[in-house]
Structure 1
Amino acid sequence: MTGHRMEREHGHWAALKAGQQKETLMDGGAHDASFASLLWQAQIFSRAIAALGAGFSYIGPRRRPFNITDPEISFPHTEETVSSWVLFIVSVLIPAAIIFAVSLLLGPGSTAQKPSTSALLRRKVWEWHAGWMGLALASAITFAITNGTKEVVGKPRPDLLSRCKPDLSRILDSAAGAIGDQVEEGIILVTSEICRGSGFDLDEGFRSFPSGHSSTAFAGLTYLALWLSAKLGIAIPVLRSPALERGIVGQESKTPCRSQGAAPPIYLLIFPLIPLATAIFIASSRYSDFRHHGFDVVSGSILGIACAWLGFRWYHLPIRRGGGWAWAPRSPQRAFIKGVGVSAYADDESTVVVDEQMHSRATKPGGHDVAPTRAWRCDGETDSLQKKYDTFSKAPESRLFPKVDPTVDGEDCDHDCASCEVHLPRNFKVEETRKLYGHVKPWATHMLVATGKSDWVGHVEGEKDSVMEAVKYSKIEPSNGKLMISASNMPMPEDASSQPPADRPTSVLLLPAFTIVENVSPSSVPDLIRLHVSPSSTTTTPLGQARIDLENQSDSNWQSTAETPPITPPISSVITTPFTTRPYPHKYLILLCSHRTRDARCGQSAPLLRREFERHLRPLGLYRDLHDERPGGVGVYFVSHIGGHKFSANVMVYRRAESGDGGGLGEASQCIWLARVRPEDCEGVVRFTVLQGKVVKPERQLRGGFDREKGLSLSE
């Protein structure tokens, strides 16, 4: 079994994807090593496990004493129905070939949004690679456990006496029991010393438990069945959790039970059933060939199934909720160990295909629908609610925001602050080589949730009884595009703690609308999305375009058109809500990632940067703290993970339009997303980025953003 396709832990692949080599496959470049050598290097770990299993075979089994009158070991030695080579071909090579073909020819499905040719190829290659890694892991672990157990147990096969050819004249010399030669029945147990047979054939006679053919067949073929079920969406429908609907959404689902799922086409069952039937045939042949006892066959089968499940789930999302995709590569900083205080092995930069949106109702190749669930939206699936605005172009780096010009802005415009009073810790290290621009996921609306905290659990959607959690599990999707949600240190109402968790009020800030919505509770999130988020302006809404005034519309003239995303009818004619809204009072907003639980660097850098921003803003009369409601000025807030911890510190600057009272009804005209910001950069960020919309160091710091006046957005 040493010919298995195996893997080393896929940290090497993650490192390639993240750009730690000069040019990587994940970045679309040509790497010096051939692709075959990359796969070889990524399979060393599983090969090592398989080699360990092979090594057990050279030790030799314990030869358990036996009774020469036992009928259970007196069967004839027959020809094998399935040889070891046929087993390897059927259980390893054929599944590997099927995974290769399906990954490259059929994925992604017809409903998935098609990325560029190079991104599509990278997606296919990763799905193929992850499929092989799971198969290799399942097969290697099965092989090692099976061989090791065989050697330790040394259980006789049903055909042992045919292999042993016992010499009855030596029965007294081979007695295993201390009193065996003293009882009337004669010798009860003997050792292998009575055998005239020897060598490999006799050793094999003591390797009955567990059945290696059974474990290997079920490991490879059950893995293939699980893999095909995931790719083709073959799963038994289930009802959504009533407790989840009551506790998070605050009301029972109006979707009838029978409409919450649908059975896949029955013909699809043939794809997982053929591998399983083949595994059952191989396992059964070991009993009929007198190679194993029934218990050995059953035990080996269970072992193979367990290892198949482990290999599949190690690299792939759940069948029902994963959309058929494999997990993304690990973050390069966590390729070999996660470390204490880090919640996951992946970060937002660990996706193979950049900026593919998701599908709330993904149709599988078999033609059936999978019920939508916001909690398990997966990269690569299209989103029926995501709108692409052709009026906005994907701007190159040089066009999105102007760079400071020494001839206009002064000779020192691109210099670091000479009077900086704070510095990052000496051991503060970030990724400095990778090009940043365009490596962010587009968003339509950015929602900041007031929590009164500057640090949160690893994923803010996991904050129990929070608005973030309610948004994650809400069955109401924003109709105007992707919603980016961030927890913030904006203060909560003073009486919030006295309310039940599901009704505990807080405030949210919607961007780019610059609108504060108050009295938002977890149970009211569906109404918040329907009545305020969906009708809100987005990052790709042209600045100054008239928005539908819901408060003044009547039922008779409300309608949606093909050109306008469908939105909710007038609030006043539909429902009375507890929400109150007001405009955000400040002209500019600086967001600093302070999510220490996700990455300690963010927790270190955010307070230092805020102190330095305050030092430069106060002399200008622009600094506004959390409780300062004076109009104008600059708000500086802490927010949760926004992506790219390895590029700390991340800073997002939202700017209102310069004209009139803020241009498009007081909305943000620009968002400038910077990274690798250090305290000595803060003066330039205030002078040029915040106040003028220019970037001091675009080559090193600009990640993306949008400009609604120019009709430009971040690159994809």
Structure 2
Amino acid sequence: MPHRQQPHTSATPLLLPSARPAPLVPLASPLSPLYLLDYVTTFLVMATSVFLDNVPEPFHRDFQLYDPQISHPYRTETVPSWMGWVIAFGGAAVIVLAVCAVRAWKVTRRRDCPEDWRATMGWDVHHAVLGTILAVALTQFVTNVLKLMIGELRPDFLARCQPSLLEPQTCTNPNASSIRDGRMSFPSGHSGRVAAGLGFALWYLVAATGAAVIDQRRPEGRIWKLLLCFMPLLVIATMAINRLQRNRHHVQDVCVGGVLGLAISYISYRYYYYSVASRHAGKPKLGPLGHDETGGEPGAQESPNEAE
């Protein structure tokens, strides 16, 4: 019988030779070669994004002294940058842990409770943590690259710059950091960061509740699932509105930042999990939740031609 090649999972496209199947790993260890490169790459992307956010000088866009778009007063932030990180990762952690707590409660009440349910749940949490970090890191990287290249002025830029009347393009404010930040309006980093972290939690919650799966056998009771999954979107929208209220961003800044974060969060989710609308929704693509005993994907069957 000819060798049946194991299809790669998206979690490890570069670490496993195409000539041999992916082995099962009993525990979701970050030191596993299946994920070591993912961790290293993700944290390098995160470190690069932090560097871009603080060191390089953005593009200096010309401005006019009487431009109403950048003439708004400077207001103190109510949601500083560090709080955006807390909301992105903390909010995602709360949702994932809440889902796991409900699953653990249901599993332990079963008479046929599997002995390895803790390891299985640990594998799931591992994927969720890595996927969330990947989503936020990629979003921050793309956002900061765009900020530096575009150099869009914030609505309160003139208040930051305090331009000279003799040389209108020259800022007199000695706070160079504030002026630099005033040139990095598009897209919104706060909105994108929160949308990436809570966006991943959103897709995780949609898969866990089955909100995207239409079951003809049980068509009732789906509205509460949709309302529950709407909560992360409400937090994302609140963050975007706050940035508008504090004169930190234009409308297009927060809209693009939010859409960018949600899009990258879905890409990151699909990198490690099956589609939220599939029959394997909520299962990682690799590990005890995502493979059968043959090392293949759930439900993978050999065709009659392959068995001959």
Aligning the two structures, in what range does the TM-score lie when normalised by the shorter sequence?
Answer: 0.7 to 0.9
* Counterpart contact for 1:130–1:326, Cα < 8 Å: no
Cα–Cα, structure 1 residues 485 and 12, in superposed 2: closer, same or farther, change >3 Å?
A: closer
In 2, the alpha carbon distance for the partners of 1:147 and 1:484 equals 45
What's the offset of the Cα at 1:217?
1.4
* Counterpart contact for 2:274–2:281, Cα < 8 Å: yes
* Counterpart contact for 2:185–2:253, Cα < 8 Å: yes
Aligned length: 289
Residue 191 of structure 2: aligned partner: 214
Cα–Cα, structure 1 residues 310 and 11, in superposed 2: closer, same or farther, change >3 Å?
A: closer
Aligned ranges for residues 618-629 of structure 1 at < 5 Å? Answer: none
User: Among 145, 149, 161, which residue is 1:148 paired with?
Assistant: 145
Using structure 1 for the length normalisation, give the TM-score. Answer: 0.37
Residue 47 of structure 1: aligned partner: 43
Cα–Cα, structure 1 residues 14 and 127, in superposed 2: closer, same or farther, change >3 Å?
A: farther
Residue 403 of structure 1: aligned partner: none
1:307 maps to 2:264: yes
1:128 maps to 2:125: yes
1:18 maps to 2:23: yes
Cα–Cα, structure 1 residues 73 and 440, in superposed 2: closer, same or farther, change >3 Å?
A: closer
Higher relative contact order (CA 8 A, sep 6+): 2
Residue 487 of structure 1: aligned partner: 304
What's the offset of the Cα at 1:226?
1.3
Residue 4 of structure 2: aligned partner: none
Q: Which has the larger radius of gyration?
A: 1
User: Among 269, 292, 302, which residue is 2:226 paired with?
Assistant: 269
The alignment yields a C-alpha RMSD, in angstroms, of 3.5
In 2, the alpha carbon distance for the partners of 1:76 and 1:289 equals 9
Residue 84 of structure 1: aligned partner: 81
Cα–Cα, structure 1 residues 37 and 98, in superposed 2: closer, same or farther, change >3 Å?
A: farther
Cα–Cα, structure 1 residues 112 and 67, in superposed 2: closer, same or farther, change >3 Å?
A: farther
What's the offset of the Cα at 1:114?
5.3
What's the offset of the Cα at 1:232?
1.2
Cα–Cα, structure 1 residues 487 and 352, in superposed 2: closer, same or farther, change >3 Å?
A: same
CA shift digits 1:390-449 (9 cap, x unpaired):
xxxxxxxxxxxxxxxxxxxxxxxxxxxxxxxxxxxxxxxxxxxxxxxxx659xxxxxxxx
* Counterpart contact for 2:196–2:265, Cα < 8 Å: yes
Aligned ranges for residues 151-190 of structure 1 at < 5 Å? Answer: 151-171=148-168
Residue 208 of structure 2: aligned partner: 231
In 2, the alpha carbon distance for the partners of 1:301 and 1:139 equals 12
CA shift digits 1:18-56 (9 cap, x unpaired):
37xxxx6449xxxxxxx5766994522211111221221
Which amino acid is the alignment partner of residue 268 of structure 2? G
What's the offset of the Cα at 1:11?
7.4
SS at match of 2:166: helix
Aligned ranges for residues 310-709 of structure 1 at < 5 Å? Answer: 310-329=267-286, 351-352=287-288, 486-488=303-305, 639=307
In 2, the alpha carbon distance for the partners of 1:14 and 1:116 equals 30
In 1, the alpha carbon distance for the partners of 2:304 and 2:252 equals 55
Using structure 2 for the length normalisation, give the TM-score. Answer: 0.80
Greater helix share, 1 or 2? 2
* Counterpart contact for 1:287–1:294, Cα < 8 Å: yes
In 2, the alpha carbon distance for the partners of 1:485 and 1:50 equals 41
* Counterpart contact for 2:207–2:281, Cα < 8 Å: yes
Which amino acid is the alignment partner of residue 296 of structure 1? D
SS at match of 1:18: coil
Cα–Cα, structure 1 residues 156 and 112, in superposed 2: closer, same or farther, change >3 Å?
A: farther
In 1, the alpha carbon distance for the partners of 2:175 and 2:59 equals 14
In 2, the alpha carbon distance for the partners of 1:283 and 1:14 equals 41
More moved, 228-237 vs 145-154? 228-237
In 1, the alpha carbon distance for the partners of 2:283 and 2:177 equals 42
* Counterpart contact for 2:153–2:184, Cα < 8 Å: yes
Residue 556 of structure 1: aligned partner: none
Residue 179 of structure 2: aligned partner: 202
Cα–Cα, structure 1 residues 326 and 167, in superposed 2: closer, same or farther, change >3 Å?
A: same
In 2, the alpha carbon distance for the partners of 1:220 and 1:230 equals 16
What's the offset of the Cα at 1:104?
5.9
* Counterpart contact for 1:156–1:208, Cα < 8 Å: yes
* Counterpart contact for 1:283–1:297, Cα < 8 Å: yes
Cα–Cα, structure 1 residues 165 and 213, in superposed 2: closer, same or farther, change >3 Å?
A: same
CA shift digits 1:258-285 (9 cap, x unpaired):
x476144322334212211010000111
Residue 505 of structure 1: aligned partner: none
* Counterpart contact for 1:155–1:206, Cα < 8 Å: yes
Residue 3 of structure 2: aligned partner: none
CA shift digits 1:175-206 (9 cap, x unpaired):
xxxxxxxxxxxxxxxx3x24434411110010
Q: Sequence identity, in percent?
A: 24
Residue 64 of structure 1: aligned partner: 61
In 1, the alpha carbon distance for the partners of 2:112 and 2:172 equals 67
Structure 1 unmatched runs, 5+: 1-8, 28-34, 172-190, 239-258, 330-350, 354-377, 381-438, 442-458, 460-471, 473-482, 489-594, 596-638, 641-716
Residue 465 of structure 1: aligned partner: none
SS at match of 1:273: helix
